[in-house]
Chains A and B, each alone.
Chain A
Amino acid sequence: MARILVAAEHSGGKLNASTAKCIACGTSVPGAEVCVAVLAADGAAVAAEAAAIQGVARVLLVRNPANEPALAAVLAPQFAKLAAGFDLVLGPSTTFGRDLMPRIAALLGAPQLSDVMVAESATRFRRPVYAGIAIVTVEAPAGRQVVATVRVASFAAAPTGGSAPIESIAVDAPVPPSTRFVSVSAARNDRPDLQTAARVVSGGRALGSADNFKLIQGLADKLGAAVGASRAAVDAGYAPNELQVGQTGKIIAPELYVAIGISGAIQHLTGIKDARTIVAINKDAEAPIFEVADYGLVGDLFTLVPEIEKLL
């Protein structure tokens, strides 16, 4: 039996949606037993949420005021202690997991697989390289402990309906004072979250200004969609960094992705490959985005977007 530990991501007393996807990855491993570790200041509500996810065998809750806000240097030594006896330690490929998991892996002396798309077993995985241009199948030696981040866009969240026991555990690990949290910009709004939204409307360099970018927001609101952006649009200051879609931004898999004034650079396309339906609006009929679009519309976005909005 493969023993799997999932590092839970949470904030503001709520479990992040990425955790249920890691659990889904864990339970996809044949013969797996999946435990979830919640490291929090209080954590009761988060642990209860985790315990209610189907397929979870046990929730380990470690409470320490130093655990929030999450800092990899503080959390990693605790996770490394908890990981003893587990074959596979999973975390999400969100910025939380990408920051934390390699630090755990190094403390364990374990190799890490990043962005796992398929876990064929507890030692055999598939993951993308070269911005998704190639998929590699990688095998770890049997009996060797492995750490992995889970490509959240590749897994549907495990459903609720479970009732796993919650165990409070004390972990004896140092809390290094050399890393201090200062602040986080909470640019939260009432729009759907980019990483979990069923529909996403993204704008690119063609928008030309932050003011024009409101056109994207308007269409997104009409569609009940989240807003995304290309790197060029973020670099130019039309949209905030957390909206960047692509190799170095967010990898997403919505039902509908609408790319407006985005050329379709490989680094952008790698972020939307798993979208169910892609729509592209671009004035250049030769733009590479049309190679992957299910529906392409050639023309000026400044006339087309208002037209579309009117028809919705």
Chain B
Amino acid sequence: MRRILVGIKRVIDFNVRVRVRPDGAGVVTDGVKMSANPFDSIALEEALRLRERGEADEVLAVSIGPGEAQQQLRDALAMGADRAILVKSDTALEPLAVAHVFLELAKRESPRLVILGKQAIDDDCSQTGQMLAALWNRPQATFASKLEIQGEAARVTREVDAGLEVIEVDLPAVITTDLRLNEPRYIKLPDIMKAKKKPLDVIEIVSLGVDATPVLKVVKYEAPPQRQKGIIVKDAGELVAALKQRGLA
């Protein structure tokens, strides 16, 4: 079975105005809308397209997190994933621990591709895919904006600082998605019903033998210093005069 494994992290929805808790112990999460990490929806969309093109037989969505993450996995199943696994962990995990979870699943499921997001928009780490690739001793193609399978290799266009880089990686490989890889499809109502019958396994993180204890201690969260609101100038002349005065024009 040619399988694609995708990561689906449950995060605060990108439209929410996140606020730091007054006690500095984290950000406000009570009653806040949660969603799949946007880059992960792109990962899932890409996997579905590959399956539709005959490059895969099964798309497996995986989330590591609290019981509530089943919601995001149900959405993934409704979008078109065939199967889902929730690896339950009630403590927040560091990317290296998440990578170890994906490694254990990769050993069990022997995927042809693992597609993750280039970063989770909560911790903004941008680490997990690269770490998995190292632990699994497989190639990585990060920040992908185009992916083509050519036999037992993938040709990937990557968004890098210089522009667009193209590399070729032998499969299996780890891909991480950039925003322009695709636009995820919308979930249709009948698919939500169908998704209820698809398999969603819940396993405990300890059953994979992964040590989830964080190494790093988060001492405090703070809001960054706010920029002062400036002035509204009345016309182009006033703006240019102000810039010239400051030596900026």
- Does B130 lie within 8 Å of A102, measured CB to CB? yes
Candidates B180, B216, B242; contact of A140 at CB < 8 Å:
B216
- From A95, which residue of chain B is reached at the shortest CB distance? B160
Q: How far is the CB of B138 from chain A (nearest CB, A)?
A: 7
Q: A279 at interface (Cβ–Cβ under 8 A)?
A: yes
| Complex A-B: 9 CB contacts under 8 Å | A98-B143, A130-B121, A136-B221, A248-B178, A278-B230, A279-B239, A297-B235, A304-B236, A311-B236
Chain A positions within 8 Å of B, measured between CB atoms, are 11, 71-73, 76, 94-96, 98-107, 109-115, 124, 128-141, 144, 176, 178-188, 195, 199, 223, 231, 234-235, 240-242, 247-248, 250, 255-256, 266-267, 273, 277-279, 285, 290-298, 304, 307-308, 311-312
Question: In whole angstroms, how far apart are the Cα atoms of A308 and B178 in the complex?
Answer: 36
User: Which size bracket describes the interface of B in this complex?
Assistant: 35 or more
Question: In whole angstroms, how far apart are the Cα atoms of A176 and B142 in the complex?
Answer: 17
Q: B217 at interface (Cβ–Cβ under 8 A)?
A: yes
Candidates B124, B164, B178, B233; contact of A130 at CB < 8 Å:
B124
- From B232, which residue of chain A is reached at the shortest CB distance? A296
- Does B224 lie within 8 Å of A72, measured CB to CB? no
Q: B248 at interface (Cβ–Cβ under 8 A)?
A: yes
Q: B165 at interface (Cβ–Cβ under 8 A)?
A: yes
- From B16, which residue of chain A is reached at the shortest CB distance? A130
- Does A96 lie within 8 Å of B161, measured CB to CB? yes
Given contacts A295-B233, A296-B230, contact A114 B126 (CB under 8 A): yes
Q: How far is the CB of B132 from chain A (nearest CB, A)?
A: 8
- Does B122 lie within 8 Å of A111, measured CB to CB? no
Question: In whole angstroms, how far apart are the Cα atoms of A66 and B201 in the complex?
Answer: 43
- Does A129 lie within 8 Å of B248, measured CB to CB? no
- Considering only residues 87-101 of chain B, those with a C-beta below 8 Å from chain A are 94-96, 99
Which residues of A are found within 8 Å of B232, using beta-carbon distances? Answer: 285, 290, 295-298
- Does A312 lie within 8 Å of B249, measured CB to CB? yes
Q: Which of B135, B215, B230 has the most CB of A within 10 A?
A: B230
Which residues of B are found within 8 Å of A181, using beta-carbon distances? Answer: 165, 167
Q: B3 at interface (Cβ–Cβ under 8 A)?
A: no
Question: In whole angstroms, how far apart are the Cα atoms of A279 and B125 in the complex?
Answer: 30
Candidates B122, B125, B135, B229; contact of A112 at CB < 8 Å:
B125
- Does B180 lie within 8 Å of A235, measured CB to CB? yes
Q: How far is the CB of A272 from chain B (nearest CB, A)?
A: 10
- Does B163 lie within 8 Å of A134, measured CB to CB? no
Q: B1 at interface (Cβ–Cβ under 8 A)?
A: no
